[in-house]
Amino acid sequence: MRITTFAKGTLALALALAATTKANAQLAIENPKILDNTYVTVNVGAATPVKDMFSDMFPVNPIAGIAVGKWFTPILALEGEASAWFGSHSYGTPFFGRNKYTGGTNVVRGLFGGVNGIVNLSNLIGGFTGSPRFFEVNMVAGIGWFHGFRPGMGDRYNNYWAGKTGFDLAFNIDKKYRHTLSLRPQMLWNFTSPGAGKGAGAFNLGGAQLYLGAAYTYHFKCSNGTHYFKTYNIGDFNNTIDSLRDELAKKPKEVIKEVVKTVEVPAKTKTVVAGDSYVFFAQNSAELTSDAKLLLDNVEGTVEVIGMASPEGTAEYNQSLSERRAKAVADYLTSKGVTVSSCKGSGVKGLTSARVAIVRAK
């Protein structure tokens, strides 16, 4: 009953803290790559059998472990864990309470390997704000396999399914979200009856332990240059688009005059674009489309080519992409006999650059 009350109280506190932050509905999350938002955790702590918690001065099982995981969204993560249990066997194998055994001792009492699912309650209930909070509440649930080392005992007494449930109270001590310290109140469960091998279940307090631990987590750098999910404010983009639309509505004739200029040529010859030509590309691409090639087929004389990129991605990547776009256009024009006096990429200009290359007649 004490454990049940403790768990309910902790959950209520976690939900109350998480609910204090409001969601930002204007944020969009960049699609992460497979190795983005990965991390490694080192944890230490101690566990005591729930059944014999208040006898024999709290028999303690020291535990140390390591985990490697990935956040798939700001709410959900999955990790693989491996841990070792230390101490003597005077208080029995972990999860079996005070089943005394005096036949020998080992430095390592047992090994555990498993998989944990993690839910960020702060982001689930309070909404993702675009960056990690200083304090976050995570709920943890996992399952795995435990192997104990008890001299003279058969494998069926030393192998069984095990798992955990509880919380990870995380403090993100670095503004760049590289380092996290956390406290972990959790319950460790034995899912197999002692001596029953892999068959009978034993999901009860008789084979459970209360675990209290601390952990350090390092978050690896992502492809976007940060250590977390990169977000974009859709509201800002919408405001920019609306502003551009208003400007176009005010000066439609002037804009059309500057964008498209053609000259009359004799019959049976192609139309020559004497002004600027705009070649559009797909997102994150420098490949010429069939429509783009048809447009470039109408260009003659001497031109200069300027490549541009849209604001998504890092500045370094956008600069490289704009240069590749300019080169693709220049190479195609050169193959058609057009003289390209200059070819350069300009990256992103302000907030309104697009996936385009400009062919400017000299």
Weakest-pLDDT range from 25-34, 93-102, 272-281, 288-297: 93-102
Name the token pair of 110. Answer: 């047992």
Weakest-pLDDT range from 214-223, 245-254, 288-297: 245-254
- pLDDT tens digits for range 150-188: 666 666 667 888 899 999 999 999 888 999 999 999 998
At residue 16, φ and ψ (nearest 5 deg) are -65, -45
Q: Is the pLDDT of residue 4 over 80?
A: no
* Residue of 172, 168, 171, 173 whose CA lies nearest to 212: 168
Q: For residues 191 and 200, what is the distance between their CA atoms, to the nearest angstrom? A: 8
Q: For residues 195 and 358, what is the distance between their CA atoms, to the nearest angstrom? A: 76
Q: For residues 63 and 146, what is the distance between their CA atoms, to the nearest angstrom? A: 13
More confident residue, 121 or 191: 121
Residue 272 burial (10 A CB sphere; 0-12, 13-18, 19+): middle
**pLDDT score, position 6:** 43
Q: Is the pLDDT of residue 107 over 80?
A: no
% of the chain with per-residue pLDDT over 70: 67
Q: What b-and-e string marks burial along 64-84, b requiring 16 or more CB atoms within 10 Å of the CB?
A: ebebebbbeebbebebebebe
Residue 282 CA: distances (Å) to CA of 30, 285, 354, 357? 17, 5, 10, 12
158-161 CB contacts, 8 Å cutoff, 24+ apart: 158/93, 158/110, 159/197, 159/198, 160/95, 160/190, 160/191, 160/192, 160/194, 160/197, 160/198, 161/190, 161/191, 161/192, 161/198
DSSP β-ladder status, 302-307 and 339-345: parallel
More confident residue, 194 or 349: 349
pLDDT category at 245 given cuts 50, 70, 90 is confident
Q: For residues 354 and 351, what is the distance between their CA atoms, to the nearest angstrom? A: 9
3-state SS class at 206: helix
Residue 4: other Cβ atoms inside 10 A: 9
The rounded mean pLDDT for the chain is 77
**pLDDT score, position 71:** 95
Give me the residues paired with residue 77 across strands: 71, 118
* Residue of 275, 279, 281 whose CA lies nearest to 301: 275
Weakest-pLDDT range from 227-236, 296-305, 308-317: 227-236
pLDDT category at 98 given cuts 50, 70, 90 is very low
Q: Is the pLDDT of residue 233 over 60?
A: yes
